Amino acid sequence: MRIHCLGGGLVGSFVTRKLHEAGMEVHLYDIVERETPATFHLGDASAADHSAADFVVNMVPGSIGHRVLNVLHQQGHRIVDLSFSETTPDQLPNGPGVVLWDVGIAPGLSNMLVALAHRELGVLDNVTIKVGGNPAEPDAEWSYMAPFSPHDVIAEYTRPARIVRDGKSTIVPAMAELHTINANGRTMEAFLTDGLRSLIDLPASSMGEYTVRWPGHIQRYQTTELSPDELVDAWRLDPERPEFTWMEVRVEGNGQVRTWTVEDEGNDGDSSMARTTGLVTFACVVAWSQQELFSEGIHPPEDLPTEVIKNVIQTLEVEGVRIETSSKSN
């Protein structure tokens, strides 16, 4: 099985390595040199020859993700997309490719968990997703390190958020509904961001995704005079600094409540965001390589079969990511 991975950043390099360790023939494409056990190709990933690939994994930054995906789609590839571009893949023009998109932690695993609840409960009254990757302890500055492309983080903070209220899709400013939460004993803050994406299409009375940060971080962002490039430098990841990723998915429906809590602190030099995001991507590539999940079309994570979603969850748990579930009457 030959896999072409496009983009070798924090998550891309992790996914590439996991696929290589799984015994696949992996080729990594990037415009900067990367240390990788895979066969490396330096240059524009979208201009490279991918005709020999069984699957292409698009992990370039969101700013170019849709352009690259469109090229791959028109070439007719089977594509797993993790670029999280503002223009979602369901807006692609017709093409011969087959796409599974948004296969990270959120969107991605969050969509899969909501899909499981929807299949079991039949009705979605309220869906709340809270997620964030942050330093283990706050500091006197930003209390934040960008675990993926900092420009994509800025896009999260500035892109209006699509949510569901009273059964209807609506748009609110990013960073709305700022409130304090308890994230496994940590007092943190959550605010709306545009992370629902394809989940908007599931019928629900209320739905929203919230980004989680240490108190004061988003207020500092709202008043900063730093340029985006200066923020990229200020938020640079310090691999020596402890950090964690935490997510809570809570679904109410048909008089029942389903809650999943996901948490990781990284392991063996891999950051928690690389692990929680990349393991989902890795598991989806493996699943598709083992069975023909999709033969045509553009598919969000919630289209995955239940057994594949459960295998994704199991993959994370085997790798040491903690996933706690609870079920109770409302």
**pLDDT per residue as tens digits for the range 215-241:** 999 999 999 999 988 998 999 889 899
Instruction: Using alpha carbons, select from 136, 161, 163, 121 the residue that is nearest to residue 258.
Output: 121
The model carries a pTM of 0.95
pLDDT at 156: 87
Tokens of 142: 């930003």
pLDDT at 152: 80
- Helical (H) or strand (E) element with 283: helix 272-290
pLDDT at 237: 86
CA distance 218 to 149: 18
CATH number for the domain spanning 313: value is 3.30.360.10
Do 191 and 244 belong together in one domain? yes
In a domain, 281, yes or no: no
| Helix residue spans in 105-262 (DSSP H) | 109-121, 150-158, 217-223, 228-234
Do 121 and 201 belong together in one domain? yes
In a domain, 286, yes or no: no
CATH number for the domain spanning 59: value is 3.40.50.720
Judge contact between 130 and 123, C-beta under 8 A.
Answer: no
Q: pLDDT of 18-63, one tens digit each?
A: 999 999 999 999 999 999 999 999 999 999 999 999 999 999 988 8
Do 134 and 199 belong together in one domain? yes
- Structural domain harbouring 238: 109-271+302-329
Domain boundary among 56, 72, 101: 101
pLDDT at 270: 94
β pairing state of 206-213 and 126-135: parallel
Is the pLDDT score of 310 beyond 80?
yes
In a domain, 238, yes or no: yes
Judge contact between 241 and 196, C-beta under 8 A.
Answer: no
Average pLDDT, the chain: 95
93 secondary structure, DSSP code:
P
Is the pLDDT score of 189 beyond 90?
yes
Residue with tokens 């909501």: 114
Question: How many structural domains are present in the chain?
Answer: 2
Q: pLDDT of 73-123, one tens digit each?
A: 999 999 999 998 889 999 999 999 999 999 999 999 999 999 999 999 999
Tokens of 188: 């943190």
Q: pLDDT of 119-176, one tens digit each?
A: 999 999 999 999 999 999 999 999 999 876 777 888 889 999 999 999 999 999 989 9
